[in-house]
A = this chain, B = another copy of it.
Amino acid sequence: MAKLTPRQTEILEFIRRSVRDEGYPPSQRDIARHFGFAQNAARDHLRALARKGEIEIASNDARAIRLCGESGVEAPPQGLPLLGRIAAGAPVTAPENAESWLNIDPDLFTPRADFVHRVDGDSMVDAGILSGDLVGIHQQTDAPSGSIIAACLYDDMTGEERITLKRYLRDGSRVVLKAENPRYAPIEVDLARDAYDQEQPRFRIAGVMGGLLRSGSPR
């Protein structure tokens, strides 16, 4: 799709707004009146927009403008990004880096989910969270002690950042990230120590668990 000039973007926006607010596209003269120029200027713009694939001028009929650029009449893209392990350097929790998008109402979770994380491994089985489950996460930088959080752990070796689910236990500056499975050892972090201390992993809270979605039945 060819790039639009600022003026063309303005005009396309006006058409979109008209369709949304009035329910039908404007006539060439409507456009001209709104922008204060002659009908033929509007016609030129429509032709340019049609050539660039943003609209289709369906026929010689009145208001026969069909919006076709990405978001014509479609529903607003509602859903949640599925975040997880991603390539080195890039921030894991940025929606742009989503593996895929799920069509779920964020309000099905409490608190409301901002993204979804796929559980890998059985470290949380005793909390009823199985491998492969999708966990809804509400993005926040802190969490009450005892809650289940999505922790971002940064691996110095690979330079990769990844999300893990853990129970968050905090006592002063001492933080314990506990798995809900006796076979896994808890990770301990002392926030008072320098972040550059290599003996402990660097971590941050990505958010708190707001719920869970599982597809299929276990075993």
Could you show 23 A-B contacts with beta carbons less than 8 Å apart?
A19-B73, A23-B25, A23-B67, A23-B68, A23-B72, A24-B25, A24-B58, A24-B66, A27-B61, A62-B62, A73-B73, A102-B108, A108-B213, A109-B215, A110-B215, A110-B216, A125-B128, A127-B218, A209-B217, A211-B213, A212-B212, A212-B213, A213-B213
When distances are taken between beta carbons in the complex, the residues of chain B under 8 Å from A127 are 217-219
When distances are taken between beta carbons in the complex, the residues of chain B under 8 Å from A66 are 22-24
Does A92 sit within 8 A of B, measured CB to CB?
no
Bound together, the chains give a CA A128 to CA B219 distance in angstroms of 10
Does A5 sit within 8 A of B, measured CB to CB?
no
Bound together, the chains give a CA A169 to CA B25 distance in angstroms of 60
Listed in ascending order, the chain A residues whose CB lies under 8 Å from chain B are 19-20, 22-25, 27, 56, 58, 61-68, 72-73, 75, 102-105, 108-110, 125, 127-130, 133, 146-148, 208-219
Q: Contact at B24–A63, with CB atoms within 8 Å?
A: yes
Cβ 8 A contact of A128, one of B22, B104, B110, B214: B214
Bound together, the chains give a CA A71 to CA B217 distance in angstroms of 36
Bound together, the chains give a CA A203 to CA B119 distance in angstroms of 35
Bound together, the chains give a CA A217 to CA B146 distance in angstroms of 10
How many subunits of this chain does the assembly comprise? 2
Q: Contact at A215–B219, with CB atoms within 8 Å?
A: no
Residue of A108, A148, A216 ringed by the most chain B CB atoms within 10 A:
A216
Bound together, the chains give a CA A62 to CA B208 distance in angstroms of 54
- Asked whether A147 and B217 contact (CB < 8 A) given A103-B108, A105-B103, the answer is yes
Bound together, the chains give a CA A105 to CA B79 distance in angstroms of 11
Residue of A104, A128, A211 ringed by the most chain B CB atoms within 10 A:
A128
Closest to A113 in B: B215
When distances are taken between beta carbons in the complex, the residues of chain B under 8 Å from A64 are 22, 24
When distances are taken between beta carbons in the complex, the residues of chain B under 8 Å from A56 are 23
Bound together, the chains give a CA A105 to CA B217 distance in angstroms of 17
- Asked whether A214 and B212 contact (CB < 8 A) given A24-B25, A125-B128, the answer is yes
- Asked whether A211 and B218 contact (CB < 8 A) given A25-B24, A63-B63, the answer is no
When distances are taken between beta carbons in the complex, the residues of chain B under 8 Å from A148 are 217-218
